[in-house]
Structure 1
């Protein structure tokens, strides 16, 4: 039988060295096992014994010396994370000093990210900055990875945010290239503090320099603009068109933000143009969009268009919810079409959409405005039959209506009922009822209400 070539090699080795060679697999496995035991001992010691500056290094070195293996980056990272959790930041400095002067391996960058967060989240901003700029001394090339960690710390407050430009300039001098993620951190921070113009300039710069802009960054910028700009005069439609020039494609959520902004500013005419633009972009408006648009055109008193929009959403197969019905019923009441409002309320209940307290408040307000207090009483009683709880606004509307028709006795009864239910009615409304009672010479009742007011 022919012996294998591996057997010949083994025989030659034994004749020459008179010992059995160790396989590379066995050696590597043994080193891995020793390193594992050293790490377990280090972890146990760190958790069981509070450490001071000097004993941390001793614990670190002894754990690996006992098992006859070299210190590793993983061991240093474990020490840093443990010290950070215990807020023992003074010891982190000594660990970094030992790493810098006593080790020769290339330190992984993620260790410095842990250190920067440990310092930054504890308010030691300058220490975090110093660690970043000392990274090359640890045989490591800093990149956007650690720069982003530092920026995430700096943008947490306005005080440290002013340091960002200087940090960026120095980082560029170290050869750190800014990445898309870096700009996203800065844009997000500027949006949060309301500096939307600077945020917009950064996004434009990214587009001009051919960075890949995440679509969510455009949405965040637009949402922040609508939050911080004056809704009565800011040209948000023009702003969206400017964003389109730098490759922004608004989606349904973005259009919803714009519609809310316009309605908030009382610009009902412009919401229709936004709806038309949505259709041109082949974005189907949902029920939320139609509800917002209805609210805008009704506030603008364009009731005929409101009817068309309500019919349109029905034709598109959208099922109105209670919020949509409330907006439309409010429009009917504003144009004094109380009968239409009552019919619409009956229709919504037939279609399985139950009226809520807002629906009833809208209808009662319309009846009170028209001076039909008898019918308002009927709706008031209907609320109780339908199990809808009256709120403070309901009482305020009814009390105001009875004061207006000079039925101050009924208004007083409603006011006392509200007090008994621990509902807070407007102070001005209570004072109005007290004044009317005084005018009618009902001083005892006025004093009783005054006691409630006090």
Structure 2
């Protein structure tokens, strides 16, 4: 037997599959069969139009509702508020909220949750905190989502200490955190490089009887590796493997990179093989990590094979990919190939790649081709302090102190910083060569450049 409930189920299904034309057709057919839509029917449409078409199209449905004698309710406005919040349109969120109040529709906890979330998204944590206080002090019952939004918003806006204090305060008042809540806090702590605090939450999570998932372990593992706590990171990795959790391509490459940095080449190679065996589809970041690993190993042939594999697979190499190759060629002493690769890189539209130029300048200097390094340096459109420092130090090594002094002064006048050791090397070199007057003059000019910049 046909009913409005069945009508709503059909419309909701079409809306979920993003087929709004069929959803609208079902409403027309229902009316023709004397099955009239209700507020639930139109609420499904409002939500779908917010997600698929836009806010204005969704808002226009309210007029259709009124023409059909149906009054919008809190769910209707919650959908509009959520749609505006997804697009970070705070003014529209506040307009919908105000309209709902003027219509005599009482907001519920989800209305306030969405408003609070939007304030956090647009960087207004004080306003979000005020909403949170209103929820706590009113007769609304905050749900786990309320606390999760608050903790996530505080973490993302840099208030990690406040998030931790709130978490402890909630625990003190009997709130039992779920896994998603702990994951939010652990992620925030890890991004703030608060590894010890993150590991403490992880340990407490296990003690409470809640089993951490792969997201929990991966977050802490990556933080350990990024903080150069390689042993701790690898221990978590081993724990994940024992529990049967699968790694994604990024996790594999993070592990491989850490193993390389700690000199554990055989283990790194075994993870590369395991990754390939498991059929992990690599993204560009993963490819770059592997190319870097092979370059450090001196296996440039395999690095180039991976480069061709990227291009053949439809991915576009970025400037970091080519820079890794150039650096690997320079380390191997193959300067001519590195220069040719730089030219190829420029023809591909990657201009102003300072890091690639820096690698070549350093490589040319170490191979005794200081004049070519200077020429390459002068051809750079953009230079950084590393380029200046590298060339200054290498000029000092070949005892070309006057040239180094001129370059050093030029760097400081451009408002860039050079390592103190480089300055000292130039001054000591001038004095050691008997150029006392030049050294004193340079020292005075350096001091003036510092004052001016």
After TM superposition, the structure 1 = structure 2 runs for residues 363-378 of structure 1, keeping only pairs within 5 Å, are 363-378=360-375
Shift of 1:224: 3.2
Distance 1:196 1:184, change over 3 A: closer
Deviations 1:334-383 (Å, cap 9, x if unpaired)? 122222222322333344444622222211211111222233233234x2
For the pair shown, the structure with the greater C-alpha radius of gyration is 1
Q: Name the counterpart of 1:290.
A: 287
Distance 1:372 1:250, change over 3 A: same
User: Does 2:310 match 1:311?
Assistant: no
Residues 403, 433 of structure 1: 8 Å contact kept = yes
Structure 2 CA distance for aligned equivalents of residues 332 and 285 of structure 1 = 24
Q: 1:245 to 1:143 in 2, by over 3 A?
A: farther
Question: 1:325, 1:348 within 8 Å by CA — same for their partners in 2?
Answer: yes
Q: Name the counterpart of 2:221.
A: 222
Q: Tell me, yes or no, if structure 1 residue 409 matches structure 2 residue 408.
A: no
* Distance in 2 separating the partners of 1:285 and 1:144: 36
Q: Is the 8 A contact 2:183 2:215 kept in 1?
A: no
Q: Name the residue aligned to 2:202.
A: 200
Extract unaligned runs of 5+ from structure 1: 1-28, 33-70, 79-112, 121-127
Cα distance change on mapping 1:163 and 1:341 into 2, 3 Å: closer
Cα deviations by residue, 1:48-70 (Å, 9 ceiling, x for unpaired)? xxxxxxxxxxxxxxxxxxxxxxx
Give me the whole-angstrom Cα distance separating, in 2, the residues matched to 1:438 and 1:343.
40
Q: Give distance in 2, aligned partners of 1:341 and 1:321.
A: 17
Q: Report the secondary structure of 2:343's partner residue.
A: helix
- Aligned residue number for residue 67 of structure 1: none
1:394 counterpart = 2:395: no
2:424 maps to which of 415, 420, 431: 431
Deviations 1:129-168 (A, max 9, x none): xx7xxx9xx8x98875677689889997669958967964
Give yes or no for contact 2:109–2:142 (8 Å, CA) kept in 1: no
Matching residue of 2:13: none
**Match in the other structure for 1:41:** none
Describe the SS at the equivalent of 1:441: coil
CA distance in 1, matches of 2:360, 2:370: 12
Q: 1:327 aligns with which of 312, 324, 329?
A: 324
Are 2:239 and 1:242 equivalent residues in the alignment? yes
Answer whether contact 2:294 2:302 (CA < 8 A) is retained.
no
TM-score of the two chains, using structure 2 as the length reference: 0.57
- TM-aligned CA deviation for residue 440 of structure 1: 3.2
Q: CA RMSD in A?
A: 4.6
> 1:307-341 CA distances to partner (integer Å, 9 max, x unpaired)?
31331331342543321221222122112222222
- CA deviation digits over 1:22-79, x for unaligned, max 9? xxxxxxx9xx9xxxxxxxxxxxxxxxxxxxxxxxxxxxxxxxxxxxxxx99879999x
Comparing 279-288 with 409-418, greater Cα deviation is found at 409-418
Q: SS where residue 323 of structure 1 aligns?
A: helix
Q: Given that residues 148 and 184 in structure 2 are in contact (C-alpha distance below 8 angstroms), is that contact kept between their aligned partners in structure 1?
A: yes
Deviation at 1:205, TM superposition (A): 6.2
* C-alpha distance in structure 1 between counterparts of 2:291 and 2:392, whole Å: 30
1:117 aligns with 2:157: no
How far the C-alpha of 1:296 sits from its partner, in A, is 3.4
- Indicate how the Cα distance of structure 1 residues 355 and 270 shifts in structure 2: closer, same or farther if over 3 A, else same: farther
State how far apart, in whole Å, the 2-side matches of 1:167 and 1:263 are.
Answer: 42
- Mapped contact 1:263–1:292 kept (Cα < 8 A): no
* Superposition deviation, residue 404 in structure 1: 2.0
2:411 alignment counterpart: 418
How far apart are the structure 1 equivalents of 2:325 and 2:350? 14
Alpha-carbon contact 1:154-1:161 (below 8 Å) kept: no
When normalised by structure 1's length, the TM-score is 0.57
Separation in 2, partners of 1:297, 1:210: 37
